[in-house]
Structure 1
Amino acid sequence: MNKIESFTVDHIKLDRGVYVSRVDHLGQEVVTTFDLRMKKPNRELLDNEAIHTLEHLVATFVRNDEEFSSRVVYFGPMGCLTGMYLILHGSYQSHDIVPLLVRAFKFVVDFQGDIPGVSEIECGSYKLHSLSKAKEEAKIYLEVLNNIRPDQLIYPQ
C-alpha cells in the first residue's frame, strides 16, 4: 500500500503556519486542501472543547465570508489535534488565504453570544464546547498569522 502524502511531511520540523497540504484535480475542477497548523506536532495539542468550538465558529465565518463563502468545500479539525483543514474550490497558495484566516480568527477572538450550532438537535456532541478556550487558541494562532514567516507557508523539506 502506498504511503499517503501527508505522512511524508517531516512533523519534527513542522511549525505553526498555513500550508498547502494537497491540490486535487477532479475532472476540470481543482480543490486545494490547507493544513492550518495551530500547534507544534508531538509537542502541543488543542483541547477537545477548544477545537470543537473553533470548528463551529470558523466554519460559520468562512462559509459566510463575502470573498470566499462560495469556494469553501470543508473546514474541520485534524485528528491529531494540532490544527484544522480548510478545503477550497480552486487553486491557491498559502499566502492567498492568510487574510481570510486573520479575519476568521479575529472573529473568534471578538465573538460574543451563543456559539452557532450548539444544541442537541444541531450537534452530535453539543456539550463539548468552550468559548473561552477557543478564544485563547484563536489569539495564539492569530499572532502566528499576523507575523507569518515565509517558512511557515511551505512544508519543511
Structure 2
Amino acid sequence: MAKVESFSLDHDAVKAPYVRIAGQEQGPNGDKVTKFDLRFVQPNQAALPTSAIHTMEHLIAAYIRDYMDNVIDVSPMGCRTGFYMITWGDRTVEEATKAITKTLEDLVNSTWDDVQGTERQECGNYRDHSLWAAQEYAKEILAQGFSIDPFERKSLED
C-alpha cells in the first residue's frame, strides 16, 4: 500500500491557517503538477461546517482562477479543515498564498448570485449551502492571515 503524504503530516504540530506544498509530481511527458494544502482552521480543534465549506468550494473554484493560472482543481478535505489545490507546473507557496487570499477577499464580498452551481441539476447536495457561514469563516481566516510555513507563523511580508 502506498504511503500518503498528508497522513504523515503531524496535524497537532501545524499552525493554521497556512499554505504548503503537499507534493509535486512529474508525468511521463515531463508535465509537472503541484498539490497545495490550503489549511483554513486548526486540525483536531476546529472544522468548517459542511454548508460553509460547500459554498466556499463553489466560490473558490471560480475566483481562484482569476488570480492563478493553470489551476486543475480545488477540493475540500474530508476532515473539513481546508482544501487541496492542484495546479499544472512548478508553482510556489507565495503564488498560492496570494491567490487564496485574494479569493477569500472576493468571497467575503460575494452575493448569492455569485455562487455558481446551486441548482438541483448542477449540484449533488444543492440544499447544503450557507453563504453567510462561508463569509464569516473567510473573514476569520483573513484576519489571521495565511502563514507560508505550516509549523510557525510566517507571513509573506516576513
Q: TM-score, normalised by structure 2?
A: 0.88
Equivalent residues of 1:57, 1:116 under 8 A apart: yes
Cα RMSD (Å): 1.6
- The answer as to 2:39 corresponding to 1:37 is yes
1:7-46 to 2 correspondence within 5 Å? Answer: 7-16=7-16, 17-27=18-28, 28-46=30-48
Matched residues in 2 for 1:154 and 1:40: separation? 14
Distance 1:51 1:123 in 2: 14
**Which letter maps to 2:97?**
V
Cα offset for 1:87?
A: 0.8
**What fraction of aligned residue pairs are identical, expressed as a percent?**
35
Structure 1 residues not aligned, in runs of 5+: none
Q: Offset of 1:116 from its aligned partner? A: 1.1
Between the aligned partners of 2:20 and 2:34, the Cα distance in structure 1 is 10
* Cα pair 1:10 1:156 within 8 Å, conserved: no
Instruction: Give 1:118 shift.
Output: 0.2
1:1-157 → structure 2 map (5 Å cutoff): 1-16=1-16, 17-27=18-28, 28-63=30-65, 65=66, 67-69=67-69, 71-114=70-113, 115-145=115-145, 148=146, 152-156=147-151
* Equivalent AA in structure 2 for residue 107 of structure 1: D
Cα shift readout 1:60-106 (whole Å, capped 9, x = no counterpart): 1123x1x524x010011001110011111111221122221111000
CA apart distance, 1:155? 4.0
Question: Separation in 2 of the partners of 1:133 and 1:14?
Answer: 24
Provide the rounded CA distance (Å) in 1 between the counterparts of 2:85 and 2:51: 19
Q: Which amino acid aligns with 2:91?
A: Y
Q: How many residues align?
A: 149
Distance 1:51 1:154 in 2: 23
| 1:29 Cα deviation from its structure 2 partner | 0.6
Q: Distance in 2 between matches of 1:135 and 1:101?
A: 14
Q: Which consecutive segments of 4 or more residues in structure 1 shift more than 4 A? A: none
Q: Distance in 2 between matches of 1:5 and 1:119?
A: 35
Question: TM-score, normalization: structure 1?
Answer: 0.88
Deviation at 1:3, TM superposition (A): 2.3
Separation in structure 2 between the aligned mates of residue 127 and residue 104 of structure 1, nearest angstrom: 23
Q: Quick one: distance in 2 between partners of 1:24 and 1:154?
A: 21
Deviation larger for 16-25 or 48-57? 16-25
Residue 4 (structure 1) shift? 1.3
